Amino acid sequence: MKKVLLVYTGGTIGMIQNPLTGALESFDFDQLLNHVPELRQLPVDIATRTFDPPIDSSDMDPLQWAKLVRIIDDAYDAFDGFVVLHGTDTMAFTASALSFMLEGLAKPVILTGSQLPIGMLRTDGKENLITSIEIAAATRPDGTPRVPEVCVFFHEKLMRGNRVTKSSADEFDAFESFNCPHLATAGVDITYNENEILRRTPGTFRPHYTMDTHLLIFSLFPGIRPEIVKEMLSAPTLKGVIFRTFGSGNAPQQPWLSELLAEATRQGKVIVNITQCTGGCVAMKRYETGLQLLEAGVVSGHDSTVEAALTKLMYLFGKGLSSTEVRRQMALSLAGEITL
């Protein structure tokens, strides 16, 4: 029997409605099988770990990510796959962070959650949970794991973790990976998109625990003020910026803006160009409005999500790399996070 470790960090999925008061309460995860008896039908041996106390995903941070990495690292040899139950609000950040922190991962780590608590009649949590466990335990005919990477499974779609963005606060279909095809679709059968799934060599797993958060996400808008941008970019502890630009990576042609960006680059700050569009890729050579950014030393974020680019910077600076090396590695795909 395959063994899956289920880690409950918190979030809506792990809640149940108190029949007397109607209020939502976290339920005791050791009692999971009593609340979701369907799990007994799965030919999978499930063990559980719970964050104590469970947290709303707005309270997730790099220390909690390191806690998850520790749990997975400690249990790595004993389990075939991992399912992480997580609030949906910051799931895309956690999935992206784990994809870098779990370097060389050769087993499935599937994050999931739900929009309605598992203890409510119309919950989407049961299907998300049960299918995630199935995927975490799935193997190829040669016995190797079917999906040896960090993924998000939500509403019938398996997506690469560092490609997803939460796209709806209300719908069951709450996540999308705009720039990467789905890795699997769960209909009557679970159909895997073999060509898109990463190939990994077992024995290369190397967990990382340190993330550097001296970063900023800054979004352009028409009429943006020089004195405010100057204040932000000159923060002495700032190491990197996710710079959200228009369209294919364009910005207003204001000399003050390129001068501030060039100055920040000279100081060793890494400025990564990510489009404000949900789909598509940065191409700074396409228009003059983009070319000026390239000339100011801005690095292309390619078709990365904000979540992936940000956590990649955290990871690279967390390794203590120089800004020249960080700039070099931002152009590489470390865990399938950009299309090259």
Shortest distance, position 86 Cβ to ligand ASP, whole Å: 7
Q: Is 11 in the site for ligand ASP (CB under 6 A)?
A: yes
Q: Which amino acid is at 285?
A: K
Q: How far is the CB of 9 from ligand ASP (least distance, A)?
A: 9
The token duo for 250 is 């364009």
Collapsed DSSP state (helix, strand, coil) of residue 49: strand
In the set 56, 259, 295, 325, which binds ligand ASP (CB under 6 A)? 56
Widest pairwise Cα distance in the chain: 65
Considering the complex, state which of residue 79 and residue 154 has its C-beta at the smaller distance from ligand ASP.
154
Complex with ligand ASP: residue 112 or 177, whichever CB lies closer = 112
Give Cα separations from 131 to 45, 66, 128, 186 (angstroms). 15, 26, 6, 8
Q: What angle do CA 306, 311, 314 make, to 5 degrees?
A: 130
- Pick the piece of the chain touching ligand ASP (CB under 6 A) from 5-13, 27-35, 235-243, 287-295: 5-13
DSSP state string for 101-161: HEET--S-EEEE--SS-TBSTT-SHHHHHHHHHHHHH-B-TTSSBS--SEEEEETTEEEEG
In Å, what is the CA distance from 18 to each residue of 15, 22, 95, 173, 235? 9, 5, 31, 26, 48
What Cα–Cα distance (Å) separates residue 144 from each residue in 21, 74, 76, 256?
Answer: 47, 20, 15, 55
61 contacts ligand ASP (rule: CB under 6 A) = no
| 117 lies in the site for ligand ASP, by CB under 6 A | no
| Part in contact with ligand ASP (CB under 6 A); list of ranges 8-16, 123-131, 211-219, 224-232 | 8-16
- As measured in angstroms, the least distance from the Cβ of 175 to ligand ASP is 11
Least distance between ligand ASP and beta carbon 83 (Å): 15
Any idea what DSSP says for residue 283?
-
Rg for the chain, CA atoms, rounded: 21
Per CB under 6 A, 231 contacts ligand ASP: no
Q: What span, in angstroms and rounded, lies between the C-alpha atoms of 147 and 327?
A: 29
Binding-site size, ligand ASP (CB under 6 A): 9
Q: Which one of residues 2, 50, 82, 87 is an interface residue with ligand ASP (CB under 6 A)?
A: 87
Stretch that binds ligand ASP, among 9-17, 146-154, 263-271, 311-319 (CB under 6 A): 9-17
Catalytic site includes residue 339: no
**Binding status of residue 258 toward ligand ASP by CB under 6 A:** no
Distance CA 232, CA 236 (A): 9
Cβ closest to ligand ASP, residue 9 vs residue 248: 9
- Asked if 12 touches ligand ASP (CB under 6 A), the answer is yes
User: Binder to ligand ASP among 108, 113, 125, 240 (CB under 6 A)?
Assistant: 113
Phi, psi for 277 (deg, rounded to 5): -75, 150
- In angstroms, the CA 257 to CA 261 distance is 6
Q: Smaller CB distance to ligand ASP: residue 50 or 179?
A: 50
> Rounded to 5 degrees, what are φ and ψ at 310?
-65, -50
Closer by beta carbon to ligand ASP, 3 or else 35? 35
Interface residue with ligand ASP among 89, 156, 196, 263 (CB under 6 A) is: 89
Per CB under 6 A, the list member of 5, 32, 57, 257 interacting with ligand ASP is: 57
- The residue of the chain with the least Cβ separation from ligand ASP equals 87
Is residue 94 part of the contact set for ligand ASP (CB under 6 A)? no
The minimum distance between CB 14 and ligand ASP, in angstroms, equals: 9
Catalytic residue list: 12
Q: What are the residues binding ligand ASP (CB under 6 A)?
A: 10-12, 56-57, 87-89, 113
